Every structure is written in structure tokens, then in C-alpha cells.
Amino acid sequence: MLQGETLRLLLIEDDEDDYLILRELLADVPNQHFRLDWVAHYEDGLARGLSREHDVLLVDYRLGADSGLALIGDLNARGVQIPMILLTGLADSELDARAIELGASDYLVKGEFSGPMLARSIRYARDRAQINNRLIDSEARYRLLFESNPEPMWVFGRDNIRFLAVNDATVKLLGYSRAELLGMSILDIRSEEEKKRFVELYPRLRDGDLTGRMGVWSYIRKDGSLFHAEVHAHPFEYMGGPAYLALALDVTGKFRAEAALEQKQQAFHQLLEDSRDALLVVDSRGDVHYANKSAERLFLGRPDCSPVALPHDGPVRFESRLTLADGDQIELEVQRSPTEWNGQSMELISLRDISRRKRQDEQLRLLKRGLEVSIDGVVIVDAMQPDMPIIYANAAFSTLTGYAEEEILGRNCRFLQGDDLQQPALNEVRSAIGGLRDVQVVLRNYRKDGSMFWNELYVAPVPDDNGVVTHFIGVQNDLTEQKTYEQELAHSASHDRLTGLVSRQILEDRLRQSGEMVQRYKRKMAVLFVDLDSFKPINDSLGHTTGDQVLIQVARRLESAVRPGDTVARMGGDEFIVLLPDLAHAEDVIIVVDRIMDQIARPFDVDGVPLQLTCSIGITLSGDKVNDDPLQLIQQADLAMYKAKQHGRNDYQWYTDDLTQRVHERLILRGDLQQAIELGQFELYYQPQVAVHNGQMCGFEALLRWNHPERGMISPSIFIPMAEATGQIIALSEWVFKRACRDAVMLCTKLTEGAAVAINVSPLHFQRSSFVAFIQRMLDDSGLDPQCLELEVTEGLLLNNIEDAIDTLQELKDKGIKIAIDDFGTGFSSLNYLKRLPIDKVKIDKAFIDDVNEDGRDAAIVQSIISLAHNLQLTVIAEGVETDEQLAFLAKHDCDEIQGYLFARPMPFGDLIRWISQWRQRPEGRL
């Protein structure tokens, strides 16, 4: 009781005396103040008690009919916690106990207590009530704090670690009911690992050693899920026994966040460590606070070589060059970025070694340049994208195709083939691309302007480091020129260059094929040998260009005269073959022959010059028999053609078997000729030439003779053309010159002055560049005076290459050698050239002499030749003079010299010597 405090007392007593006594007793208590109110009845006591206006209630045991004990019980039951002291008349321990049980604070026996005793009991009751009330208040508050705490709290026995109390938050968190939890141990909500952890901690727990924060623990809910809580535990006494109060703060989210953060940090650290870039954390003074493995490697042996050496300001990204400890220089890409490191602002410097990339860039630059200037078209397609679009095309590709780069990129290469997609080479390309292989093909491609070109294409896959083909590269080449050239080559191999007609080789193939068809289908096949009459004079007189034009026109006319399945070929010169492979009847061939002769007979017009031609045709038929050798058919037709020529030209003749015989003979003869050269079966005959004005021998012509061991003497008109065609003429010609020069040395000096040996010159021999040297050697070897040598050349020989021929003749003439034009008048003698030719003599062909007395035209020609030659200061000789009439005509028209059977036939050298001596004995001046 506080100093000066007045306690308010209510006495519930039905006896007023007792009231007065009590009042007196209290009044006498020193230093203490009481205000005593009094009510006599139960109800009043109850009402005043419920009003709670008093500090202590003094309740008499007997309240009339009512009991003070009942009133105490009633007030207690109604929650009145005012201390109540029971006053009774008699000491009764049972009553005492009963009063305490019903809530009385004390029990006093009237008459046995003094004022101070009463005051002490009142004060004690009041204090105890206050303490109780405070305790009750406190307990209630703590219970409320425990029960309604939003954080999970539980109480567990220190010795048995079983749950003793759990709050709602714990029930909610763990998912177990309160009753379930109160039957469980705190180990039951832990994982095995956490149980072990707890067991390790337990000795300290059991000793009551632990208090405060226990760290973060993991718990398992009833549904098996895990949560993490930061646990605080405090030992205390609960229900009379040692216990711990645990408070669990759910940190699952935080724990996860922290774990994630830690994971992140670890990952980040790993990233830094594993980075191929060198990473450094540097403070503002340049001190390195962190260097990852790459940085350590980079600066190995040079710990001082920190980024101090690198600029700290300026651009955040730049390239730099660094010299390493071993002296090597590397190219670096440096990037600076601000960072926080251990709470300090620093800089993260990343150094990337770009030396390789730089080298690759350089390489790439060179390669790119190489591609740009390549003359081959190059495209690169992306194999990873649908339809493999072109992602690169060089300038050559644009030039090749005519497409600009922007028209190419993004397209599949097939646009180059247009509609021409059925090319076998395309399948090869597709198959190679599918099989990721190289391929080289030649394709028909089309430029932007639609023109076709032959594209030699090389395609190669481009794999990446893992071997995955990411691209294909195509290199293209325009082969058009080459192809055209090849086609031209193939065409020229199989076709005549001049006329475009098929070649002899193709003709032979067709002959063979047709031969088989003829036999199988019982048809007839004809081969025509067409030879132009008098073409040589056209060629010789109007030149080769005109001759070529004529041949081209003839070719077209022949083609127009036959059917599409027939073949026209050129054999060379003015000779053509017509193959009619499918004739129903042998007579049908005549229809074609007539058509051909009509076509050739039509006037030709070559550059405004009208020309008239005819042709001779030899015909051979193949019917039942198959000719193994197609050449045989050609030879048969050839023979028949000669027969047509002999029949006066402009004619056709059928081949007959006797012609075959002649072909056969010619072939044998060719072989014999070779042997004759080797065996020396030749002989040289000489025919004298006589001057008309005095009858003296003025020269002699060397004429070759072949004395065949079986066939006797063979005419040079047979074997000379053959030898000319085979080249055997060179050996023969050389032999003739050698022999004739040797004989002439012996004879010339014995003849009149100016007499010479006339030797026929082979065109083939004359065209040799060594011809002049050869003649010189003959003169040197024989010692023959050049004045005693006369060369007889034909007009054909001269016109082959007139300028060279003139030069050669001039060289010969400069040596003193005489030149005579043989067979003069048979060719288209060009007067223009005649005046330029360094010649001495013209020899009128026998053909004009034969009928010179009968045919006025021949006579006119002979007279004209003599007159022309004389005007050009040339000597004229007539050959083939056989009659006195011919001699008389020639003499009358001033022909200078005569050669012919009239005087002498060609004869061996010995006979000539004898003939000369006889000739000299004739009467003076007589011919």
C-alpha cells in the first residue's frame, strides 16, 4: 500500500455492530487510511461488488439467510477479481478451505483479530490480488502474443524434444493439425540431413546452453514440401518443466533468392574465369583487383603489364597493340565499362585477342579482292536456308550473265537455266548437292538477254568447323567460244570447209550404213561421181576466189537436186559424190542424174561474171551384194566418170565390171611405181626440136619412160599424174634432171648455139622452196651450161601462186636457164600475167595442131598464139607436128620451132646421137 493511499473497503455484514467494531479497528490502524462502506444484504453486496468500486470486499459468513460464501462464489463466477476476505464467527478449517476454493483471499474469525491484523490481511489480500491480476494480465498477454503471432512459434520439451505447444501460424505453416503436432517430436519435421544437424546441436540444447538465433533450418511440411526458416530459441520453464520456445521466421523466399543470387554469383564468377577474353578489374589508380585466367595467361611473366599500359580514358571501345613478354605483338580489342567491386567503383577492362581475326580479315580482304577480279564467275549459296539462295556473286558473274548483283542475290541459281531444265548435267548437279560432293559439269545457261551460253560449272560444298555443309560455292566459266570452236572443229572434221558438204569420212560411214539397209530391205543404192568439166581453166584464169564461189554454188545446186535422205559430199577440187541410198528401181537414178546435169548447166553468176559449166557423172549401183569397202563404190563411180569424160564430157556413164579391172590395175600400178623407182626401171627418151627457118636441131625434150618388166613400156600420161598425186613424182623428177643434165652436157656443145635440153617440170617439185637450189646443184654436178637447160612449165603451175612462181622463174632465168610455157593455149592464159612472166618460149599444145589445117578456129588460135608470142619477143614452138601440111601452116605463120613425129619420135639417148648425125646429113635447109 502506498504512502497516503486510502483503501476503499466494502463490508457486507448483516450485523451493524460488527460493522461499527470493524470501523473502529480500522480507524485505529496507524498510518493507514481506509474508507469502509457497509451493506447488510446479499443483493446489495452483489451489486456493489459487481460495480468494482472497492479495493477489498469484507464478507460476513452469515448474511441473514444467505451465505457470504455463496456471495464470494457468485462474484467470482461473475469475473469479479476484487480480493474478498471472509469473516466468520467461528474458526473452521473446512470453511477456511472452502472459502479459499471459492476465491476468497483470506479467512478471519471475528473477535480474534486486531485492527493491525485486519489491516495487514486487507493489505495482503489487496497486494496479492494485484499480483494475481498482473500475473493473469501478463499470462493473457503472452498467450495472446504466442497464439496470435503471425510467425510460427512452438514450445518443445528440452529433454524429450516433443512439441508442447504450437501457435496457429505453426499449424498453418506445417500443415499438421495442432493435435497431430502435439503428438510429434520436433525431429519429425526435419529431413535426414537436418536431423543429423540437430543431433549435433542437441548436447548444448539439453544443457540449456542455447539461446537466441539458431540459424536457418529446413523443415518438411506435411505435404512433403520444404521451407526454410530462421529459428530463434529460448529456454524457459513451461508447465513446470524445462522447455524451449522456438520462433521460426519463414525465409524460404529469401533463402531461395539468396541461393539463386549465390548461384548467379558463382555462375558469373565462372563466366569471368572461363571467359576467353582477358578480364581485369582495375581501380582509378590502375591497380588490378581481379584478373581472370585469360588475363593471367596474357600477362604471364609480366605482372606489371597491367592495363596501366593501356589508356584509361578516351573511347570505351578501341583497338590496341600489345607487346608480350616474349616480344610477340598481338592485336587487342579493348572495352572499358564501369563496375562495382567490393563496394568500390572500378573499371572492368575486357581485352580480346583479335590477332587471328585481324589476320583472317586481311586474308578475307585478299580473297574477296581475288574473287572480285576473278575472270571466272563465282556465286555462293546458303545451304542452310530454304531453296539455297545466292548470297554472293562476283562481278565476273554479272558480266557473264548480264544480271546486276541485286537481281541475283536471294535467288536460287536455277533462274540461269530458264525453261531448259531437262539437261542431264542438271541431275548431276542436284545429285552432287544432295550428296554434299564436288561436281563439274557443262550446262546450257541463259543470259539476261535470253542468249544461251555454255557454262562450265564447278560446284563444291563448304563445310563449317563441325563438318556441316553451310554453303555451296559455284565457279563458272563461259565455254561458248570453246564449244563453238569445238563444234567448228568437229564440223570441219566432218564437213568440207569450203562448201559445208559432208566430208569423205562421213560419206564412207553413210555408205556403210546404207549398204546394210540396202541388203536388209532389198533396195538399191547409187553412188554418183560428179566432176565438173573445164573447171580448171576457170580456176586458173579467174583465180581461186572465183573458183571457190563456183564450187559453193555447185554444192548448193547438187543439194537442191537430191532428196533430204541423200548425201552430197565433196571429194576435193571439182569432184563431188552423191549418194542415193534408197532407190526402188535402178532407173530412178537417171532422174536424179538428169536433174543434176540440168542444175549444173544453168548459168552461174559469180560477182557479175556469167559462167557456163557442164559436168561428167559416173554412176555405180549397189544392190544385192554388200560392199565391204565403201571406197570401192566411190572408185567404181570414179571410173565411170572418167569414161564419161572420154565420151566427150557433159555426159554420164554407168560403171561396168571392166572398169573395175582398170581400177584394180591402177592400184597395182601405184605399187609397182614405187618398186620401179627403187629398181631403176625408168629410161629417159629424147625428142628433137627443129628450127623452122633453117631445119637445124635447136633442142631436144626429155621424156620419161617406164619399162615395166611385165607390161612393157608404160606411157607417162598414165603414171606421171599418179606419181604427182602420190608424191612419188619428186624422186622421179630428180632422177630425170640428173640423167638429162648428164646427157645434155655430152650433147649440147655438139649442137648449134642455143640448143638446150627441155625438161618437164613437175608442179609439185617446182613448188618446193628448195627447187632453185636443186637445179643449181644439178648444173654444178653435171657441169651443164645453164644456157643449155630449158624448163617446161605448165600454166597451171604458174597460176597456183603467181607471184612466187614469177620470183622462182626469175631466179632461174637470172642463172641463164631458159623457160618455156608448155601446153600453151589449153589453160585460160592470162595475157596480163604472160607479159610479166620471165619466159623465153611458148609451146603450142598438140590439141591445136592436130586439126590446124582442117579447123579454122584451131588455125586462128595457132596464128594468134604465134603473133602474141612474137609481140612479146618470145620464141614459139609447136608440138605434135605429124604432117607436112601442119608444118607448112606453121612455117607460113612464122612458128619458130617444131617438135613432132614428122621428124622424130622420142628415142633413147644413143638413138638420138645417131639421129642427129643422120639429120645433119640431110640436104641443107630442108626440113
CB of 861 to ligand LFPHGCPZ, least distance (A): 16
- Interface of this chain with ligand LFPHGCPZ, residues 720 to 739, rule: CB under 6 A: 720, 736
Gap between the Cα atoms of 669 and 723, Å rounded: 10
**CB contact set of 560 (below 8 Å; sequence gap of 6+):** 599
- Interface of this chain with ligand LFPHGCPZ, residues 673 to 702, rule: CB under 6 A: 687, 701-702
Gap between the Cα atoms of 700 and 407, Å rounded: 86
Stretch that binds ligand LFPHGCPZ, among 65-73, 236-244, 483-491, 712-720 (CB under 6 A): 712-720
Helix 504-521 and helix 630-646: axis angle, to 10°?
100
CB of 763 to ligand LFPHGCPZ, least distance (A): 8
CB of 612 to ligand LFPHGCPZ, least distance (A): 27
**In the 8-state DSSP scheme, what is residue 175?**
-
Which residue of 85, 156, 900, 909 would you call a contact of ligand LFPHGCPZ, by CB under 6 A? 900
Which residue of 717, 832, 871, 921 would you call a contact of ligand LFPHGCPZ, by CB under 6 A? 717
- Interface of this chain with ligand LFPHGCPZ, residues 750 to 809, rule: CB under 6 A: 760, 762, 792
Question: Does residue number 862 form part of the binding site for ligand LFPHGCPZ (CB under 6 A)?
Answer: no
Question: Does residue number 823 form part of the binding site for ligand LFPHGCPZ (CB under 6 A)?
Answer: yes
- Contact between residue 766 and residue 793 where contact means Cβ atoms under 8 Å apart: yes
What phi and psi, each to the nearest 5 degrees, are found at residue 895? -65, 135
Stretch that binds ligand LFPHGCPZ, among 184-192, 325-333, 771-779, 877-885 (CB under 6 A): 877-885
Q: Comparing C-alpha atoms, which of 728, 760, 761, 759 is closest to residue 742?
A: 759
Q: Which is nearer to ligand LFPHGCPZ, 99 or 684 (CB)?
A: 684
Gap between the Cα atoms of 361 and 261, Å rounded: 41
CA distances from 630 to 372, 621, 665 (A): 57, 12, 19
Q: Which is nearer to ligand LFPHGCPZ, 133 or 646 (CB)?
A: 646
Question: Does residue number 381 form part of the binding site for ligand LFPHGCPZ (CB under 6 A)?
Answer: no
CB of 899 to ligand LFPHGCPZ, least distance (A): 6
Gap between the Cα atoms of 69 and 99, Å rounded: 6
Residue 207 exposed, middle or buried by CB count within 10 Å (0-12, 13-18, 19+): exposed
Gap between the Cα atoms of 539 and 247, Å rounded: 132
Question: Does residue number 651 form part of the binding site for ligand LFPHGCPZ (CB under 6 A)?
Answer: no
CA distances from 187 to 158, 190, 224, 241, 365 (A): 13, 5, 14, 20, 73
Gap between the Cα atoms of 377 and 382, Å rounded: 17
- Contact between residue 449 and residue 402 where contact means Cβ atoms under 8 Å apart: yes
What is the grid cell recorded at 630?
565403201
- Interface of this chain with ligand LFPHGCPZ, residues 413 to 442, rule: CB under 6 A: none
Q: What does 773-820 look like in DSSP terms, one character per residue?
A: HHHHHHHHHHT--GGGEEEEEEHHHHHHTHHHHHHHHHHHHHTT-EEE
Gap between the Cα atoms of 603 and 624, Å rounded: 39
Query: In which residue are the cell numbers 546486276 written?
Result: 404
CB of 882 to ligand LFPHGCPZ, least distance (A): 4
Question: Does residue number 743 form part of the binding site for ligand LFPHGCPZ (CB under 6 A)?
Answer: no
Q: Which is nearer to ligand LFPHGCPZ, 80 or 779 (CB)?
A: 779
Which residue of 106, 651, 822, 897 would you call a contact of ligand LFPHGCPZ, by CB under 6 A? 822
What is the grid cell recorded at 895?
612458128
- Contact between residue 795 and residue 823 where contact means Cβ atoms under 8 Å apart: yes
Stretch that binds ligand LFPHGCPZ, among 341-349, 603-611, 612-620, 896-904 (CB under 6 A): 896-904
Which residue of 72, 246, 378, 703 would you call a contact of ligand LFPHGCPZ, by CB under 6 A? 703
Quick count: other Cβ atoms within 10 Å of Cβ 260? 10
CB of 702 to ligand LFPHGCPZ, least distance (A): 6
Q: Which is nearer to ligand LFPHGCPZ, 720 or 757 (CB)?
A: 720
Number of residues that bind ligand LFPHGCPZ (CB under 6 A): 23
Gap between the Cα atoms of 105 and 80, Å rounded: 13
CB of 495 to ligand LFPHGCPZ, least distance (A): 34
End-to-end CA distance of the chain: 205
CB of 740 to ligand LFPHGCPZ, least distance (A): 8
Q: Which is nearer to ligand LFPHGCPZ, 547 or 906 (CB)?
A: 906
Q: Which is nearer to ligand LFPHGCPZ, 445 or 760 (CB)?
A: 760
Question: Does residue number 906 form part of the binding site for ligand LFPHGCPZ (CB under 6 A)?
Answer: yes
Question: Does residue number 878 form part of the binding site for ligand LFPHGCPZ (CB under 6 A)?
Answer: no
Which residue of 202, 236, 485, 901 would you call a contact of ligand LFPHGCPZ, by CB under 6 A? 901
**CB contact set of 707 (below 8 Å; sequence gap of 6+):** 681, 682, 683, 713, 714
- Strands 84-88 and 56-60, sheet pairing: parallel
What phi and psi, each to the nearest 5 degrees, are found at residue 695? 75, 5
- Interface of this chain with ligand LFPHGCPZ, residues 56 to 95, rule: CB under 6 A: none
- Contact between residue 819 and residue 869 where contact means Cβ atoms under 8 Å apart: no
Gap between the Cα atoms of 254 and 228, Å rounded: 9
Q: Which is nearer to ligand LFPHGCPZ, 331 or 882 (CB)?
A: 882
Q: Comparing C-alpha atoms, which of 649, 511, 516, 522 is closest to residue 586?
A: 522
Which residue of 44, 188, 785, 882 would you call a contact of ligand LFPHGCPZ, by CB under 6 A? 882
Stretch that binds ligand LFPHGCPZ, among 20-28, 71-79, 183-191, 894-902 (CB under 6 A): 894-902
- Contact between residue 569 and residue 503 where contact means Cβ atoms under 8 Å apart: yes
Binding string to ligand LFPHGCPZ for residues 279 to 298, with x set by CB under 6 A, is what?
--------------------
Q: Comparing C-alpha atoms, which of 686, 687, 685 is closest to residue 897?
A: 687
Q: Which is nearer to ligand LFPHGCPZ, 167 or 760 (CB)?
A: 760
Q: Which is nearer to ligand LFPHGCPZ, 474 or 900 (CB)?
A: 900
CB of 729 to ligand LFPHGCPZ, least distance (A): 7
Gap between the Cα atoms of 877 and 689, Å rounded: 8
Question: Which contiguous run of DSSP H or E holds residue 741?
Answer: helix 729-748
Q: Which is nearer to ligand LFPHGCPZ, 280 or 793 (CB)?
A: 793
Q: Which is nearer to ligand LFPHGCPZ, 393 or 736 (CB)?
A: 736
Question: Does residue number 55 form part of the binding site for ligand LFPHGCPZ (CB under 6 A)?
Answer: no
Which residue of 160, 345, 492, 715 would you call a contact of ligand LFPHGCPZ, by CB under 6 A? 715
Q: Residues in the site for ligand LFPHGCPZ, rule: CB under 6 A?
A: 687, 701-704, 715-717, 720, 736, 760, 762, 792, 822-823, 879-882, 899-901, 906
